[in-house]
Amino acid sequence: MEEPADAARQRWRLLVAYDGAAFRGFAIQPALPTVAGALQEALGRTARMPAPPVVTCAGRTDAGVHARGQVVHVDLPPIPFDGVGLARALNRQLAPAVVILEAEAVDGTFDARHSATGRTYRYLVWNAPAPDPLLAPLSWHVRDPLDLRAMTTATDVVLGTHDFRAFCRRKPGSDPSEPITRRVTRATWSVDRGPEAIDAGAGRLLRFEIEASSFCHQMVRSLVGSLVEVGRGAGNAATLLERLRSATRHRAADPAPARGLCLIAVEYP
């Protein structure tokens, strides 16, 4: 865990939304556009720092993954802004690709990553014969009819604490025999009946939401890929349970595309 903020600096908590299509993920990558890179540059200019400050996020999203509820903390020297003013100054530089929804000064012991008790992701599937150009940037188009009841039943398999090696991309160099244990507290499918889905015409916008204490790499996208296969009739709750217990990605369904995934909330005590 990071050390508490330096006494000469103020720790700020930022609630951030972004369009993941514009970036190669959240984490800094040399010579590539990233959310952290854009944020750090804007923060450095706003606070008139000689070098950009380091930002820490609640969840490092992959390339193409969106966020409406990402939480970030950063330590800044004294600035002539309150939270509203800081958010406005940053949004003038970053919007619309990145938007600061809220900014507030917090205690130096707050840590966006380690203080979090839960994270919620949403995945959208446009289930229709034809794609929709306005939904395409935010959803996965699946033309085959999907059995939502079968998908919902299979989803119950992942609730609770499990070894998710079968649905996680392991870090290079890590021990493949080591369990990747995560606790899923909520996982649901529903039909999104928002105006964009209604205007799109024939088809259903399926919404998958999952909440867990934390997630491993590609976990949500891998689960969605497998659950969509169940919806297509290639498996059921029993086969998903068998795959979960196998603790291997061998013969697993491909992960769902990144564009349908969005970090929508981070929970704190």
Residue 90: closest CA among 159, 138, 27, 42:
42
Question: Does the CA dihedral 228-232-237-242 come out positive or negative?
Answer: negative
Helices (H), 56-117: 83-94
DSSP state of 111: -
Annotated catalytic residue 199: no
Which of 62, 75, 111, 132 is labelled catalytic?
62
Question: Cβ-count burial of 44 within 10 angstroms (0-12 exposed, 13-18 middle, 19+ buried)?
Answer: middle
Residue 158: closest CA among 37, 96, 102, 240:
240
Please list the active-site residues: 62
